[in-house]
Structure 1
Amino acid sequence: MDVVFSTASILNLFCISLYRWFQIVRSPETYHQYFTKTVVILLIISCWVVSFIIAIVPIYTNIYTTQDFLINRDNCRCDFIVNQWYALVSSSVSFWLPSAGIIYFYYQITMCAIEKHRADIKHQIRRSTFSAGSGLTQIANLGTFSSGTQGLIDPLAAPDSSSRTSYSSQYQMGSLNRTISTSPAVERNESLRENINAAKTLLILLVVYLVCWFPFFLTYIIDSFTYNVVPDYWITFVFWLGYCNSAVNPFIYAVKFKEFQPAFLDTLGCLGLCTCCNKDVRNFNSSAQGVHFREQHTRTSTTEPKPNAV
């Protein structure tokens, strides 16, 4: 079960990085078509099936260890002595291959975030230039520089017509700004920016993941090829260091990712560990532009009206 849970934990981290890569780099517009509910369920099942196969089959058939260990082993001890081929295969499935994928995906996401940041700076410069000239453009579209236009530029001239023209131009400029701010392209950019910000936080998971698991699997390979060379205290240290990754991941997700907080609270509420969780009504909305969570909090007082969803 040690091998099962450790492998499943790492494979789930791989699937999360794969999802983020599709969401930000590969197909930000259509990633939801790939990650349907059926696909997500199959990915979760696959992680656990592979974990059980890589652990249960070799261990229960005794093909994971050496012949000397099978002959001389003590039934009162639970030593995990592996042979070279199992060390290579199991570590490749459990760590090396998923880690290569995780590093690749996060590298692509980081490059996308840098490009997006540079594009945002250029967009802000162009937007400032556009805003400076948009007022004159709107005035020109309203007509010639008659008394109304002159009144907009000079408030002392033609007060009656200028007020009407000024109000009309401001209304049209406001409509233009609202159209630009609510356009699908802008919404997609905002959603992509939010996803990139979330992906930046995932780097914390990557660093913690490598710090916790890399020493263990490196020691795992070295010890299988050089028996009794690695000190026992170091094996014990990296053994528990790998466990720490699975222990701290839930806290990192709960603190750094708001989208995981409703799931944690709902799970704790179902387990009866969090009584306040039942007071929250959470709606989940997934669209092509991204994933949005809305929370609606009920109130205990019957005299106060129920607030709208945020």
Structure 2
Amino acid sequence: TIVEAHSQNFHLMSMEPQVNESDWGNHSTFVAIKVEVSDTPLWETLSTILVLSFLILITIVGNILVILSVFTYKPLRIVQNFFIVSLAVADLTVALFVLPFNVAYIILGRWIFGPKLCELWLTCDVLCCTASILNLCAIALDRYWAITDPINYAQKRTVTRVLISIFSVWAFSVLICLPPLIGWNDWPQNFEHSTPCRLSQEKGYIIYSSLGSFYIPLIVMTVVYIKIFVAMRRRLRERSSQLPAVAKASEPQLVVSVNRQGQIHYSHDGETTHNVTQFIEQKQKISLSKERKAARTLGIIMGTFVVCWLPFFLMYVILSFCESCPELSDKTKNFITWLGYINSSLNPIIYTIFNLDFRKAFAILLHCPSR
């Protein structure tokens, strides 16, 4: 690629399909193209590249650390963490195969990689983002069953069952992303210089994909997390009500003992009873603290998911069906799209920052002293 700058225009010599002689699927010749970026100041372009590249980097590093932690740190090698590994794989794939092309698309102002790669990129985008969201849903269901039916679910949560669940998540994601590749799309027959590389605008597919990728998982996660929160609140109240009973049991006890000669001795065992009771109280307070922290974590998980993805799927549906709605600027669309992508950066932080074992594993992998 040869780039020449003249005034404020960038001329890009690139391997690009010829416009007038070939359609969306057949391209054999390549011509020079001209990309206009004069409307964007240089400082803004460089700032955008730096910020987005940093987000890609932390997404890659964070999710690689999660995957390595589960496989290298023994306390984390438990079956329920396979869901987190699957989530990290989905988010890592987003960072490796989706985000770099999006950065180039934003900076250049048009798609320069040809129609076939556009189709594959969009398919990969839908596949990975859907898998990421559905993995979040699977994690929510796993936590719900573990909390509401701990004894029975512990027996059912086998490696085979978890792997089948993860396979189902990815299989369903394929069913969401595949239809445009086999004809359910409105992609143009002629791929011209100004042709945008965008998701299929077929109204039927928009409903199908948005329901499967976001709205149904959102409803499931909302109901599940509300039930988890209610169950935790109930358990917190039960634990709190037990503390006064334990304190009452700490009163000195009269101990009667008889020796071999038949003599009776009386003594107060208040100190021993007090020590045992103090230990029980401390354990219960620690348990209460952990459950409060878990409830707070659930709120953060759900809040982050909604903040990141709801704006995109509202935009995706509303702009496609509301013809009278004002068109959003490219910058606004890009910001909303990247807000969804940022969820892939935040997932490894949210799902590990509140877990001591993950923090220890990160410290070992990064050769940092753990606290």
Q: TM-score, normalised by structure 2?
A: 0.56
Q: Does 1:34 align with 2:130?
A: no
Supply the distance in 2 between the matched residues of 1:72 and 1:23 (Cα, whole angstroms). 53
In structure 2, give the amino acid aligned to 1:241: L
- 1:120 aligns to what? 239
User: For 1:123 and 1:198, how far apart are their aligned partners in 2?
Assistant: 20
Q: CA deviation at 1:147?
A: 7.8
User: Are residues 1:256 and 2:354 paired?
Assistant: yes
Query: 1:59 is aligned with what amino acid?
Result: P
1:176, 1:201 → 2: CA distance? Answer: 32
Pairwise CA distance, 1:40: 1.4
Stretch of structure 1 that moved more, 69-78 or 5-14 = 69-78
Is 2:135 the counterpart of 1:12?
A: yes
Which deviations, in whole Å up to 9, do the C-alpha atoms of 1:8-34 show, x marking residues without a partner?
A: 11011111111111121x202232122
Offset at residue 72 of structure 1 (A): 5.6
On the 8 A contact 1:213/1:242 being kept in 2, the answer is yes
Aligned to 2:316: 220
| Partner amino acid, structure 1, of 2:209 | S
Matched-pair contact (CA < 8 Å) for 2:312–2:336: yes
How far off is 1:53 after superposition?
Answer: 2.3
CA 1:173–1:98 in 2, change beyond 3 Å: closer, same or farther?
Answer: same
Deviant stretches of 4+, over 3 Å: 71-77, 140-143, 169-178, 186-197, 227-230, 259-266
TM-score after normalising by structure 1: 0.65
- Measured at CA, do residues 236 and 172 of structure 1 come closer, stay the same or move farther in structure 2, by a change above 3 Å? closer
The corresponding residue for 1:47 is: 169
Distance in structure 2 (CA, Å) of the matches to 1:8 and 1:260: 22
Quote the RMSD (CA, aligned, Å).
Answer: 3.6
Residue 302 of structure 2 is aligned to residue 206 of structure 1: yes
CA distance in 1, matches of 2:288, 2:183: 49
Equivalence for 1:305: none
49, 55, 74: which one aligns with 2:192: 74
Query: For residue 60 of structure 1, what is the aligned residue in structure 2?
Result: 181
Note the C-alpha offset of 1:42. Answer: 1.6
TM-superposed CA distance for 1:173, in Å, is 4.1
Q: Aligned partners of 2:256 and 2:142: how far apart in 1?
A: 47
Cα distance in 2 between the residues matched to 1:119 and 1:222 = 46
Percent identical pairs in the alignment equals 30
Q: Which runs of no fewer than 5 residues in structure 2 stay unpaired? A: 1-123
Alpha-carbon contact 1:28-1:192 (below 8 Å) kept: no
Aligned residues: 241
1:288 match = none
Q: Which has the higher helix share?
A: 1
CA contact (8 A) 1:254 1:264 kept: no
| Kept after mapping to 2: 8 A contact 1:54/1:90 | yes
Shift of 1:41: 1.4
Q: Does 1:238 align with 2:336?
A: yes
